[in-house]
Structure 1
Amino acid sequence: MANYYPELFTPTYIGKVKIKNKLSMAPMGPVGYADANGALNQRIQDYYVERAKGGIGLIITGICNVDMETEKMAKAGLPSPTQTPLAFIHSAYQMNERIHAYGTKVFIQLTGGLGRSALPGFVSKYIAPSENENRFDPNILHREMTKEEIQTLIQKFVTAAVISKKSGFDGVEIHAVHEGYLLDQFAISFFNKRTDEYGGSLENRLRIATDIVKGIKKACGTDFPVSLRYSLKSCMKGLRQGGLPGEEYEEVGRDIDEGIEAAKILVDAGYDALNVDAGTYDSWYWNHPPMYFEEGTYREFGKILKENVNVPIILAGRMENPEMAVESLNNSCDIIGLGRQLLTDPDYPKKVRAGKLDEIRPCLGCHEGCLGRISNAPVSCAVNPACGREKIYGLTPALNKKHFLIIGGGIAGMEASRVLATRGHKVTLCERTNNLGGNLIPGGVPDFKRYDRALVKWYEKQLELLNITVKMNCHVKLSDIDTYNPDEIIVATGSTPIIPKFDGAKNIVSANDILVGKADAGKEVVIIGGGLVGCETGLWLAGKGSNVTVVEMANDILGGPHGLPHMNHYMLEDLLDYNNVNIQTNTMVVSANNSSVTVKNAEGTHNISADTIISAIGYKENNSLYEELLEKDIPVYNIGDSQKVHNIMYAIWNSYELAKEL
């Protein structure tokens, strides 16, 4: 078998545990994947085994709670080794047997809880190192933990590690000085105001983390490796305020100098590896980088730690480009961590080793499937609907092979084509224009939407590999249907931007036309609509030198706090502010002409200069062909934006659901 990137596929070690390559699955929380006993349910077992099958060298599970009583977390929330130890051992041992069959090692990540970072309602016992406001709701106060509670928590970590070793795990990772979770709050003086042995000096603030590793080594043996999830820098300007990459600000959390000192203390205490990132819940986009980050987010932090400690450094931060990964192994880390990329494509390691980079399904950085729905459903992936339900939601061959006519080559049409062809159906895909991708073509124009462009390229490659008949510049009308002789028809004709009309204004264009270059934006730009399209278009134009004002009728942009996953929402808001995009909420456009827009809000009516007025108020379904096709005696389905205007995730998920059952 070819090995295109041998540096990534040579063995390495954590402690005395040999790992077959230098690729690791980064820990991602298995919320909703526990059974009533706190054991790993079958879905999460299959999920991890699928990644082992794909060739990853080391799996680090998402957080498993060492004590469900610490914060009174819902029993079905996270797996917990200590809740019902025998049940946990039975589930984990059989999972680890399967993982080991592929030569993959597996560490369990153990967490002590959320502290002030708990989503309201996720816990019923609000605790913290000192009294602190809740990250999301300042009306919720977290009380200071007692010393007895702290001692119990430390012992629970040790007990959980012992149970994990019996369960066949090759090591444990402590979810401690990381992301502003409970134990990181102890480590950061901004949150820890205690005056006892768990507060004050850096050594005291790290005491829980150092006592945990010492206790585990004593109970499990010095050869049982213990990794530490570690954020070198907090990237905080203040409470609920993150600092953007490249922005100058005063760090109020853990700065790099203290981060280096803390790392030395933690390694001296016995940690065998550091799994490195940056950020806290107050700067959440650092821990979960949206598409607005550049690749290799944490490389500077890994390099700093490699120069200061002598244990392996595991580093994630969007290094799925194998050339960047190889370069990073030389100076920033010892093991490459892969998170969301393994959700989108479990076979990433195999494909990299074989040089099939154009067959790797890309992560969009959207967080919609993995974290955006975490309060309502377990972790999955926007572009891979089978993620987290591999055995129960995978594709099966069609028993009755048919010919499907797919009308529309956007994301929904391409996904339906891919799934149907994978199952053995014959597919003809007709696209009206000379490009596949639909609204992802304009949406993918800004540099920060490069992953959207990569997704279109991936679909094009899949259609080629599956030998799907693709007809471009093909405008299908009702009278044309019989010439294709289809057994069934799927309409995926997308949507069209809505453009308001104002007397005297001829300079109103859609965001789509601006993005694809059909219209030029002037110096003074007013965007009507503060949703994702309007805000991203505004950010892009501001970067190109325009003075941009976004006008939004609602009291918040981006659909409010729950309109987007939090990390994407926070970062886009901060980027708009940093790039001087003027946001006017609770504001209505009442009239416009070729040089200005008149708006009305609580302060009255005023004019805004506008060389160009851009409409980003939404899209309208193109469903007329579907309505016409209902008259024919052929089964017809409507998917994607032509059924209901939605986001990329639901275009893919709904198409997958339909096509896997036909």
Structure 2
Amino acid sequence: MTVPNRVVLPAMDMNLCVDGEIEQGDIDHFVARAAGGTGLIITGCCAVAYPVGCASTKEPGLSEDRFVPGIRALADAVHAAGSKLCVQMTHHGKVARIDTVEGRPLLVPSPPGAALDLSALGDNTPEELRRMAAVTGGKQPTYHEATREDLAWLVRCFAEAAGRVRAAGGDAVEIHCAHGYVLGGFLSSADNKRTDEYGGSLENRARLAVEVIRAVKAEVGDALAILVRVAGREFGEDGALTTAEAVRAAALFEAAGADAIHVTGWGRNPFSNFTDGPLPDRVGAYTDLAAEVKRAVSIPVIAVGRVLPEVGERAIAAGRADFAAMGRQLLADPDLVHKLRAGEPERIRPCINCYVCVQENFWDGTPVCAVNPALGNEARLPPAPAARRKHVVVVGAGPGGLEAARVAAERGHRVTVLDKSDRIGGTLWFSSLTTPDNQRLLNWLKVEVERLGVDIRLKTEATVSSVTALRPDAVVVATGAVRERPAVPGGDLPHVHTRDTLRALLTGVGEVARIPRLLRVIAALGKLSGITTSPAAIRAVTRRFLPTGKDVVVIGGSLVGLELSEFLAARGRRVTLLEEGQQLGVAMAMPRRWTAVRHAGELGVTIHRHATVQRITREHVEFRVGDRTLTARAAMVVTASGVSALAPLAEELRGVVSQVHVIGDAGRVGYIEGAIHSAWNVAALL
């Protein structure tokens, strides 16, 4: 099989099928990536024994001829767009939720041992827990240790499924032997405790996958390429699959007839180490694992795991991999390959690693993307050209304002952006300090509005008179949320900061009047030196010098408070985090939230839940937890609670300007996802 380039879309479940049959939404999704230039399209999980062994009834089935027309329609559409189609074949084994729903025991190599540590779920809201439980109807799983008859049946299922892919005109199949699915379960000694010929040695544990590969090869011959997905390492449990074992298994798979090895990774407990695998938070997380496998095989190796374009380029050039698989990045920007081909990598809309997309899979939903509102509804791309060119004035150069300006200008409008700050980005700029991936989004927005000729006027206060003087046809208000000081005694002391005054402290702009004189001088010197104009520079400098005392209390444990706590603790501060409720990081997607809470604990952040602040003194914060009154030393207090939506300018403009729209946190606090999506929705209709 010859593909147009070395970029691969790895399997990302979209949950758009109906009773296992591929629908138009799924086709549109994959075709958008193919039309954007992606060389090889791999579908999400497709069930070889549908509905047996399924994680969802919304995943494609491969077990009956009724599924062939949908696969054929997908293959034809992908081919017409210039790409090749690979169908991933799976049996989910111990995570086959539909088996539990329908009263079947889960097919496993051996009964599972100790239960997973579920303590991270303490940071889930009741609504999230309800939605997760609803997927299995509240039923508890039971297990069936696979017999030889079961294994023979399973091998036939994979072979017959591959035959249907061939009949449908597909180009390749991918046999999934990772992520705890049944073949991966047999391969890992953490799951496989058998004493027969399918357990014990690595060769025995790989035997089932080898039999599947051989059966598929016998069924399809050279009509389809056969990919095998294997974890280059499993994380988080004793006895988990090691890299040395994965390398040996890959060689066995090649000998059995595999045409390529796709090297992934897997965190064995999704509630504690999902961000180790299968969706890592570290850039290029599995390229070293792919390189180890490549040294042991002569067939192509696909690297995955936050493979940004430059990471994939280096890995291929160094001979550490043959193909670069980019999942979340291609969800964020389906035109990635075309932009690379045009020599415009700066125009690629970046994935910000927020895990909003994958969170939906925990309750069988269709993934959404914080930065790409068209994901799952590709018919929205591209936004239609405007019927009449208008002058659109956007107030606020944060993420919502810049996205509104970008989409409006893309549609043909003349756009003017006003912002009272000395730089674009708003809260996105500040959040780049704690979350560097956000800086990539800001850089992209900056490139796009400049390319489109958007008129950005900084250090410009937006008032009714200054806005109306521009004679706009429409005004979009994107002024962000209002952040209040704690309404307790001592809440107005000079060492008590909101996110806005903390930004002023670190950048030298904004509410500097409330900062003590010495710290104002330090901030001004940083501004003069240019350090405070770069989030990356601030991150680096503050590891050596931070203009705060050692003891910091952060009030509010949602997204902002949790990220700030981690940021400050990583810079040697003794941080106490106070949260009124039970859950921390609620505005974060669940996998990122679970990891952030764990990281905060590892960095020594002292966390108090159900904590109510009573008063703030110059040296302490006094708070209550239940019937106890406690104190925490505080040279600085940062309040990260009390965030509310408010857009007074919009109210003043109504009746003066014909169209006034409010987006982002000014209308409803929703952080980056809310800002980008609300901006898109408004600008696409102007």
TM over 0.5: yes
Given candidates 385, 388, 405, the residue that maps to 2:393 is: 405
Instruction: Name the CA shift for 1:330/1:393 in 2 (closer, same or farther; >3 Å).
Output: closer
- Partner in structure 2 of residue 479 of structure 1: 465
| Inter-partner Cα distance in structure 2 for 1:49 and 1:397 | 22
Instruction: Name the CA shift for 1:277/1:189 in 2 (closer, same or farther; >3 Å).
Output: same
Per-residue deviation at 1:135?
5.2
Indicate conservation of the 8 Å contact 2:54/2:96, yes or no. no
| Inter-partner Cα distance in structure 2 for 1:233 and 1:633 | 59
Given candidates 45, 59, 62, the residue that maps to 1:81 is: 62
Q: Would you say 1:650 and 2:629 are equivalent positions?
A: no
| Inter-partner Cα distance in structure 2 for 1:566 and 1:183 | 27
Given candidates 38, 42, 45, the residue that maps to 1:63 is: 45
Given candidates 414, 420, 423, the residue that maps to 2:411 is: 423
Per-residue deviation at 1:281?
4.1
Look up the equivalent residue of 1:461 and give its one-letter code.
Answer: V
Per-residue deviation at 1:512?
4.5
Per-residue deviation at 1:136?
8.2
- Partner in structure 2 of residue 107 of structure 1: 86
Q: Would you say 1:131 and 2:111 are equivalent positions?
A: yes
Instruction: Name the CA shift for 1:650/1:134 in 2 (closer, same or farther; >3 Å).
Output: farther
Per-residue deviation at 1:191?
2.2
- Partner in structure 1 of residue 262 of structure 2: 275
Per-residue deviation at 1:437?
1.4
- Partner in structure 1 of residue 474 of structure 2: 488
- Partner in structure 1 of residue 9 of structure 2: 25
Q: Would you say 1:285 and 2:252 are equivalent positions?
A: no
| Inter-partner Cα distance in structure 2 for 1:187 and 1:275 | 15
Indicate conservation of the 8 Å contact 2:665/2:674, yes or no. no
- Partner in structure 1 of residue 18 of structure 2: 35
| Inter-partner Cα distance in structure 2 for 1:552 and 1:566 | 18
Instruction: Name the CA shift for 1:57/1:616 in 2 (closer, same or farther; >3 Å).
Output: same
Per-residue deviation at 1:467?
1.7
- Partner in structure 1 of residue 162 of structure 2: 161
SS at match of 1:227: strand
SS at match of 2:367: coil
- Partner in structure 2 of residue 172 of structure 1: 173
| Inter-partner Cα distance in structure 2 for 1:593 and 1:117 | 55
- Partner in structure 1 of residue 553 of structure 2: 526
Stretch deviating more after TM superposition (642-651 or 614-623)? 614-623
SS at match of 1:445: helix
Indicate conservation of the 8 Å contact 2:312/2:324, yes or no. no
Instruction: Name the CA shift for 1:461/1:212 in 2 (closer, same or farther; >3 Å).
Output: same
Stretch deviating more after TM superposition (595-604 or 644-653)? 595-604
String of CA shifts for 1:107-165, please: whole Å, max 9, x gaps: 11111125247599877545141333775879934312442444333221111111011
Look up the equivalent residue of 1:168 and give its one-letter code.
Answer: G
Per-residue deviation at 1:20?
2.4
Look up the equivalent residue of 2:266 and give its one-letter code.
Answer: G
Q: How many residues were matched structurally?
A: 620
Look up the equivalent residue of 1:264 and give its one-letter code.
Answer: A
String of CA shifts for 1:142-192, please: whole Å, max 9, x gaps: 31244244433322111111101111111100112x122333222222223
String of CA shifts for 1:198-242, please: whole Å, max 9, x gaps: 433333332321221111011111463211111111111x4xxxx
SS at match of 1:279: strand
SS at match of 2:78: helix
String of CA shifts for 1:540-585, please: whole Å, max 9, x gaps: 11111111121112223223xxx53332123212222222222222
Q: Which runs of 5+ in 1 are unaligned?
A: 1-16, 239-250
| Inter-partner Cα distance in structure 2 for 1:166 and 1:223 | 10
Indicate conservation of the 8 Å contact 1:128/1:142, yes or no. no
| Inter-partner Cα distance in structure 2 for 1:182 and 1:590 | 54
Look up the equivalent residue of 1:551 and give its one-letter code.
Answer: L
| Inter-partner Cα distance in structure 2 for 1:74 and 1:444 | 36
- Partner in structure 2 of residue 437 of structure 1: 425
Given candidates 50, 54, 64, the residue that maps to 2:32 is: 50
Look up the equivalent residue of 2:461 and give its one-letter code.
Answer: H
- Partner in structure 1 of residue 189 of structure 2: 189
Given candidates 258, 261, 272, the residue that maps to 2:245 is: 258
| Inter-partner Cα distance in structure 2 for 1:281 and 1:366 | 20
SS at match of 1:18: coil
| Inter-partner Cα distance in structure 2 for 1:279 and 1:151 | 27
| Inter-partner Cα distance in structure 1 for 2:639 and 2:159 | 58
Indicate conservation of the 8 Å contact 1:322/1:352, yes or no. no
| Inter-partner Cα distance in structure 2 for 1:476 and 1:222 | 66
Per-residue deviation at 1:644?
0.8
String of CA shifts for 1:578-631, please: whole Å, max 9, x gaps: 222222223222222111122222472222111111111142223111121224
Per-residue deviation at 1:642?
0.6
* Counterpart mapping for 1:225-244 below 5 A: 225-236=225-236, 238=237
Per-residue deviation at 1:98?
3.0
Per-residue deviation at 1:420?
1.7
Q: Would you say 1:344 and 2:368 are equivalent positions?
A: no
Indicate conservation of the 8 Å contact 2:577/2:607, yes or no. yes
RMSD: 2.6
Per-residue deviation at 1:324?
5.6
Share of identical aligned residues, percent?
29
| Inter-partner Cα distance in structure 1 for 2:86 and 2:671 | 35
Indicate conservation of the 8 Å contact 1:597/1:608, yes or no. yes
Instruction: Name the CA shift for 1:308/1:361 in 2 (closer, same or farther; >3 Å).
Output: same
Per-residue deviation at 1:416?
1.5
Look up the equivalent residue of 1:259 and give its one-letter code.
Answer: A
Instruction: Name the CA shift for 1:374/1:50 in 2 (closer, same or farther; >3 Å).
Output: farther
- Partner in structure 1 of residue 486 of structure 2: 500
Instruction: Name the CA shift for 1:73/1:261 in 2 (closer, same or farther; >3 Å).
Output: closer
String of CA shifts for 1:284-331, please: whole Å, max 9, x gaps: 21224465x2x2111221121122222211002223242662344414
Look up the equivalent residue of 2:94 and give its one-letter code.
Answer: G
String of CA shifts for 1:29-59, please: whole Å, max 9, x gaps: 132x2134x2221122122122122222211
Indicate conservation of the 8 Å contact 1:379/1:388, yes or no. yes
* Counterpart mapping for 1:346-425 below 5 A: 346-372=334-360, 375=363, 377-392=365-380, 394-425=382-413
| Inter-partner Cα distance in structure 1 for 2:339 and 2:56 | 39
Q: Would you say 1:558 and 2:558 are equivalent positions?
A: no
| Inter-partner Cα distance in structure 1 for 2:414 and 2:239 | 60
**TM-score of the superposed pair, with normalisation by structure 2:** 0.85
Q: Which has the higher helix share?
A: 2
String of CA shifts for 1:373-429, please: whole Å, max 9, x gaps: 663631232111112322256411222332222211111111112222222222222
Indicate conservation of the 8 Å contact 1:288/1:567, yes or no. no
Indicate conservation of the 8 Å contact 1:640/1:654, yes or no. yes
Instruction: Name the CA shift for 1:158/1:515 in 2 (closer, same or farther; >3 Å).
Output: farther
| Inter-partner Cα distance in structure 1 for 2:320 and 2:581 | 45
| Inter-partner Cα distance in structure 2 for 1:303 and 1:527 | 43
